[in-house]
Structure 1
Amino acid sequence: MPRSQSTPVRRSLLLIADIGGYTDYMRTHRLSLAHAEVNMARLLDRVVDAAPGFDLVEIEGDAAFMSRPAAGMTEADLVRATLEVAAAMHQAFHVERRYVGSNLCPCRGCTEVDRLRLKFVAHVGEVATQTIRQRQKLVGIDVIQVHRMLKNAVEIPEYVLLSDDLHRLAGATSPPLGTPIDQDLEGIGPTRAFAVDVSDLPATAALPSPDPTLRSRLRRTLAVAGAGTPYLVGLRRPRGAAR
C-alpha cells in the first residue's frame, strides 16, 4: 500500500473556475473533438494565468481548482480577492475565446467555442495537503463543499457563487452582495450561498483583442490543426472522448 503524508490544517480560500457548456461542446466527431481539446487547453491555460495570487491545485476536466492561503489576509481581503480574480479570469477567458474562434477551421470544435461560458464557486475553510505517490491534493470537508457547490440552481449564465462562510466576511453592503441561493449539498446538508453576476463586477484593465487580419487567422488555423493532430491520429486521447 502507498504511504501518504498530510500537512497541518490551514485556512485557505478555495476557488473553482468551471467552463460551462463543456459536455455538449465535446460531443462531436473526431476532427472537432481533437480541435475542441486543443481549444479547451488554451482557454484553461489563460484562465489559470489570470490568477497569479492563487495556486493551481488541479485541472479537473473542464475546471481549474485553485487555492490561496488565507493567512495574512483580512476578512474583507478574502472577498475582494475572490471577486477581483474572478473578474480577471473571466476577461482573460473571453479574450482567449475570441482568439480561438477567429481561426478559419469550419469544424464544430472551432466554430462553436463561442457557446462556452465561465462560472465560479468560492469558499473559505480549513484544508490539509495530502501527498500520495509524490502527488499532492487538498483534502478536508471544505474541499468537498466547494466541489458540491458546482451543482446548483443559479440561472445567471456566468456568476461567482460565494459560500455563506465567505459571503458573511464582506459584512453589510449596499446594495447587498449577490442573490441568496439555498442548497442541500450531498454529505454537507442545507447551506446558503450567494450568486454574483460576473457582468456586475468592475472591469479589469483592457486586454488586447485578437488581430483580425487574414494572415493571423491563417496562422491560428495552422496552429490548431498541428496541435490537434496527435488526438486525431490516436496518439493522445481527448479528455471528452468515450473510453
Structure 2
Amino acid sequence: MNALPALICIPDISGFTQFMSQIDFELSSKVIPSLLNNIIYSNEIGLKVSEIEGDAVLFYRTGELPDLKDLIEQCKLFYTEFYKQISLLQRSNAHMRDSAKIPDILGLKIILHFGKQIGVVPIGKRFKLMGEDVIVAHRLLKNNIPFDEYILISSDLLSQYSNTTKDEIFEWGNLKRSQMDVEHMGAKEFYYINLLPLVDDEDKNLE
C-alpha cells in the first residue's frame, strides 16, 4: 500500500435521510442518483472518485495541490451546479406530488481536508482511501456548524496555503474558525463559510 499526501474532498448531500424517509421512492430514486452524477461530472480540477457513499462522493487528489482559488471555485461550481440540477429535477418531475419539496429538504455541504499519509489501495476499478486522515475527513461532517450548506476546510489543508490572500477568495461571506474533538484523535481545528449566499431564493425554489 502506497501512503501519499492527498487532498480529500467530500461533497455531501444534506437532508438525505429526511428526503429518503419522507419522499416517494419513485421520486427519490431519480433525484439522488442524478444529483450524485451531477457532482461527479462537475469536477474540473482533476479530482478522482474513490467511493460513492449513498449521499456523498469521496474525491481525492494526490500530487501537487491545486491553487486555493481554483479549489474554492470548484466547490462553488459543485454548489451552483447542484442547484441547477435540483431546478431541472423539480421541473421534470412537476407532475409528482413531492417534487416541490426537493429544494426545501436537500442541500450541499463540502468537506476539504489534507492528509500527509493516505493509503491508496486498488479495489476493483476504484482506489479505496485508508488512514487516519480519511477518518478525520468523515468525522468533520459531524460538526456543530450552525447552518446546513457550507464549505469546511481543515486547518491541515488551509495551512498548506499560508501565503494566499484568503479575503479575496472568500469574498461572498465570512470565513469563520472553529474546532471539534475527534474521538481518539484530539481537537481538530477547521474553518467554514456559508454557501447559501451563492444561490438566491429563485434558484432554490421555482414555486
TM-score grouping bracket, smaller chain normalisation: 0.7 to 0.9
- The one-letter amino acid of 1:63's match is A
Q: Which residue of 2 aligns with 1:225?
A: none
Q: State yes or no: 1:19 paired with 2:19.
A: no
What are the Cα deviations for residues 116-169 of structure 1, in whole angstroms up to 9, with x where unaligned?
110011101121112356763110111111011000011133111000111222
Q: Which residue of 2 aligns with 1:217?
A: none
Which of 146, 171, 176 is residue 155 of structure 1 equivalent to? 146
Q: Which residue of 2 aligns with 1:41?
A: 33
Q: Which residue of 1 aligns with 2:54?
A: 61
What are the Cα deviations for residues 4-34 of structure 1, in whole angstroms up to 9, with x where unaligned?
xx2x2111110000011111111136xx122
> 2:22 aligns to what SS in structure 1?
coil
TM-score (norm 1): 0.71
- The one-letter amino acid of 2:96's match is P
Residue 39 to residue 174, structure 1, CA distance change in 2 (3 Å): closer
> 2:147 aligns to what SS in structure 1?
coil
Counterparts of 1:155 and 1:42, CA distance in 2: 27
Q: For residues 64-79 of structure 1, what are the structure 2 equivalents within 5 Å? A: 64-69=57-62, 71-73=63-65, 77=67, 79=68
- The one-letter amino acid of 2:147's match is I
Residue 46 to residue 179, structure 1, CA distance change in 2 (3 Å): same
- The one-letter amino acid of 1:67's match is Y
Q: Tell me how far 1:87 sits from its aligned partner.
A: 0.6
> 1:113 aligns to what SS in structure 2?
helix
Counterparts of 1:155 and 1:84, CA distance in 2: 23
What are the Cα deviations for residues 28-87 of structure 1, in whole angstroms up to 9, with x where unaligned?
36xx12211211110111111111321111110111110112x2347xx2x333312111
Counterparts of 2:193 and 2:161, CA distance in 1: 13
> 1:9 aligns to what SS in structure 2?
strand
Q: For residues 60-99 of structure 1, what are the structure 2 equivalents within 5 Å? A: 60-69=53-62, 71-73=63-65, 77=67, 79-99=68-88
Residue 157 to residue 33, structure 1, CA distance change in 2 (3 Å): same
Residue 134 to residue 187, structure 1, CA distance change in 2 (3 Å): farther
Counterparts of 1:199 and 1:134, CA distance in 2: 35
Q: Tell me how far 1:187 sits from its aligned partner.
A: 2.9
Contact in 1 for aligned 2:49/2:126 (Cα 8 Å): no
Contact in 1 for aligned 2:7/2:65 (Cα 8 Å): no
Residue 133 to residue 96, structure 1, CA distance change in 2 (3 Å): closer
Give aligned-pair identity as a percent. 26
Counterparts of 1:170 and 1:132, CA distance in 2: 32
Q: State yes or no: 1:193 paired with 2:183.
A: no
TM-score (norm 2): 0.82
Residue 132 to residue 104, structure 1, CA distance change in 2 (3 Å): closer
- The one-letter amino acid of 2:90's match is G
> 1:194 aligns to what SS in structure 2?
strand
Contact in 2 for aligned 1:26/1:36 (Cα 8 Å): yes
CA RMSD of aligned residues (A): 2.4
Q: Which residue of 1 aligns with 2:94?
A: 104
Q: State yes or no: 1:184 paired with 2:181.
A: yes
- Please tell me whether Structure 1 or Structure 2 has the larger radius of gyration of its CA atoms: 1
Q: Tell me how far 1:186 sits from its aligned partner.
A: 2.1
- The one-letter amino acid of 2:7's match is L
Q: State yes or no: 1:123 paired with 2:124.
A: no
Alignment coverage as a number of residue pairs: 191
> 2:138 aligns to what SS in structure 1?
helix
